[in-house]
């Protein structure tokens, strides 16, 4: 059987209910989704890669056909290695569009010109409208300032955020 495998890449710092909404939608289309935490030097994350992968695994324990791991290097090479030919991304608003458009075309170009001439398409999914304003950055800011994040992240992630912000050192990482 030809399994339809997709990669859902991102920073997931931390995973939010918006990410989970996209994941649930993607599972209706694909046989297996690999949530892939990008090990990038560009952003200063609050949670380590291992913490983020663990949080995703915990939050998706009851979802069949979901895996979580980290990756480094080119996303298209990673997708090829995983036998995936689709990338999942979420689109919240027009503001996401320009960056996503550039990235999708770059990934398509890189895949086509790789030695295996892989074929990678990016599939964009829109979350429920209640998540269109939600981002990991905003959730971190809400919790850092003492706000209630229960509608935005699973409970155990809210607790992990509170714990992180208890150490004053973490406050500089927003």
* Site for ligand ADP, rule CB under 6 A: 10-12, 16, 18-19, 22, 89-90, 92, 96, 127, 131, 134-136
Closer Cβ to ligand ADP, 75 or 116, answer by number: 75
Residue 67 Cβ, how far from ligand ADP at the closest point, in Å? 16
Closer Cβ to ligand ADP, 19 or 164, answer by number: 19
Task: Single out the catalytic residue among 11, 52, 89, 92.
Answer: 92
Residue 136 Cβ, how far from ligand ADP at the closest point, in Å? 5
Closer Cβ to ligand ADP, 58 or 135, answer by number: 135
Active site includes 44? Answer: no
Residue 117 Cβ, how far from ligand ADP at the closest point, in Å? 25
User: Would you say 11 and 37 are in contact if contact means Cβ atoms under 8 Å apart?
Assistant: yes
Structure tokens at 30: 């694909």
Residue 40 Cβ, how far from ligand ADP at the closest point, in Å? 8
Active site includes 92? Answer: yes
User: Would you say 170 and 46 are in contact if contact means Cβ atoms under 8 Å apart?
Assistant: yes
Task: Single out the catalytic residue among 19, 52, 140, 164.
Answer: 19
How far apart CA 147 and CA 107 sit, in angstroms, is 38
How far apart CA 140 and CA 130 sit, in angstroms, is 18
Active site includes 140? Answer: no
* HEC per residue, 50-110: HHHHHHHHHHCCCCCCEEEEEECCCHHHHHHHCCCCEEEEECCCHHHHHHHHHHHHHHHHH
Task: Single out the catalytic residue among 43, 83, 119, 171.
Answer: 43
Task: Single out the catalytic residue among 11, 52, 89, 136.
Answer: 136
Give the residue among 108, 79, 56 at the shortest CA–CA distance from 7: 79
SS3 state of residue 1: coil
Active site includes 108? Answer: no
Closer Cβ to ligand ADP, 31 or 128, answer by number: 128
What residues act catalytically? 19, 43, 92, 136
């Amino acid at each position: 059987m030809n399994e339809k495998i997709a990669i859902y890449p991102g920073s997931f710092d931390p995973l939010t209910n918006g990410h989970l909404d996209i994941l649930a939608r993607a599972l209706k289309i694909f046989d297996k989704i690999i949530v892939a935490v990008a090990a990038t030097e560009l952003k200063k994350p609050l949670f380590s890669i291992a913490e983020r992968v663990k949080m995703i695994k915990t939050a998706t324990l009851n979802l069949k056909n979901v895996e979580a791991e980290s990756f480094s290097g080119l996303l298209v090479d990673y997708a090829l290695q995983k036998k995936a030919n689709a990338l999942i991304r979420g689109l919240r608003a027009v503001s996401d569009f320009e960056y996503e458009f550039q990235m999708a075309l770059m990934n398509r170009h890189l895949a086509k010109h790789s030695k295996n001439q892989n074929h990678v398409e990016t599939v964009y999914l829109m979350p429920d409208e209640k998540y269109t304003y939600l981002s990991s950055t905003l959730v971190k800011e809400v919790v850092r300032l003492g706000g209630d994040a229960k509608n935005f992240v699973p409970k155990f992630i809210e607790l992990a955020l509170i714990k992180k912000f208890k150490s004053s050192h973490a406050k500089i990482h927003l």
